[in-house]
Chains A and B, each alone.
Chain A
Amino acid sequence: MSKIVVLGAGIAGHVAASHLRRKLSKEHEVMVVSPNGNYQWIPSNIWVGIGRMKPKDILFPLAPLYAKKHIDYKQAKAVSFHPEGDSEENKPYILAEYVTGDEKGNQERVTYDYLINATGPKLNFEATEGLSPGKNKAHSVCTYTHAQEAWIALEGLIKQMKEGKKVKILIGTGHAKSTCQGAAFEYILNIEQELRRHKVRDMAEITWISNEYNLGDFGMDGMLMSYGSNIMKSSEMVEMIFEDRGIKWILEAGVSKVEDGVAHYETLDGAYKKESYDFAMLIPSFSGHGFKAYDKSGEDITDKLFRGFMIVDADYAPKPYEEWSVQDWPETYQNPSYSNIFAPGIAFAPPHSISKPRKSKNGTDITPAPPRTGMPSGITAKLVADNIIEMIKHSNDELHHKGSMGNMGAACIASAGFGMTTGSGVSITTYPIVPDYNKYPDTHGRKLGKTFGTIGLAGHWLKLALHYAFIYKAKMKPFWWLIPE
Chain B
Amino acid sequence: MTRRISKYKRFMMMNPIIQFFKFIYLSIKVLIVVAGGHGGTRNA
Contact = CB atoms under 8 A, between A and B. Distances in A.
Given A407-B44, A409-B34, A240 B23 contact: no
Contact of A458 (B1, B23, B31, B44): B23
Interface string B1-14: 11111000000111
Contacts of A383: 38
Given A424-B14, A461-B19, A462-B27, A246 B1 contact: yes
Given A375-B34, A409-B36, A450-B33, A456 B12 contact: yes
A484 B36 CA distance: 10
B31 to A, nearest CB: 7
A484 B29 CA distance: 14
Contacts of A246: 1-2
Contact of B40 (A404, A410, A421, A457): A404
B41 to A, nearest CB: 5
A177 to B, nearest CB: 25
Interface residues of A, number: 43
B23 A409 contact: no
B21 to A, nearest CB: 8
Interface residues of B, number: 30
A244 B2 contact: yes
B38 A408 contact: yes
Interface in A374-422: 375, 379, 383, 402-404, 406-411, 413, 421-422
Most buried by A among B5, B35, B40: B40
A407 B38 contact: yes
Contact of A421 (B16, B39, B44): B16
A473 to B, nearest CB: 13
Interface string A422-457: 101001010100001000000000000010101111
Interface string A288-331: 00000000000000000000000000000000000000110101
A485 B30 CA distance: 12
Interface string A246-265: 10000000000000000000
Nearest to A430: B33
Contact of A429 (B14, B34, B44): B34
A410 B16 CA distance: 26
Contact of A407 (B16, B30, B33, B39): B39
Contacts of B4: 240-241, 243-244
B26 A458 contact: yes
Given A244-B5, A379-B38, A424-B13, A459 B26 contact: yes
A462 B1 contact: no
A462 B29 CA distance: 12
A429 B22 contact: no
Contacts of B42: 327, 331, 404
Contact of A457 (B19, B32, B35, B44): B19
A455 B12 CA distance: 10
B13 A244 contact: no
A462 B30 contact: yes
Contacts of A406: 41
B31 A484 contact: yes
Contacts of B2: 243-244, 246
A403 B39 contact: yes
A262 B6 CA distance: 36
B14 to A, nearest CB: 5
B26 A462 contact: yes
Given A329-B41, A456-B13, A413 B19 contact: no
Contacts of B5: 240, 244, 455
B28 to A, nearest CB: 11
A103 B30 CA distance: 45
B3 A331 contact: no
10 contacts: A244-B1, A245-B1, A246-B2, A402-B40, A403-B40, A421-B16, A422-B14, A429-B29, A456-B13, A456-B14
The 10 closest A-B pairs by CB, nearest first: A246-B1, A402-B40, A456-B13, A458-B22, A408-B38, A458-B23, A484-B35, A457-B19, A409-B33, A331-B40
Interface of A: 240-241, 243-246, 326-327, 329, 331, 375, 379, 383, 402-404, 406-411, 413, 421-422, 424, 427, 429, 431, 436, 450, 452, 454-459, 461-462, 465, 484-485
Interface of B: 1-5, 12-16, 19-20, 22-23, 26-27, 29-36, 38-42, 44
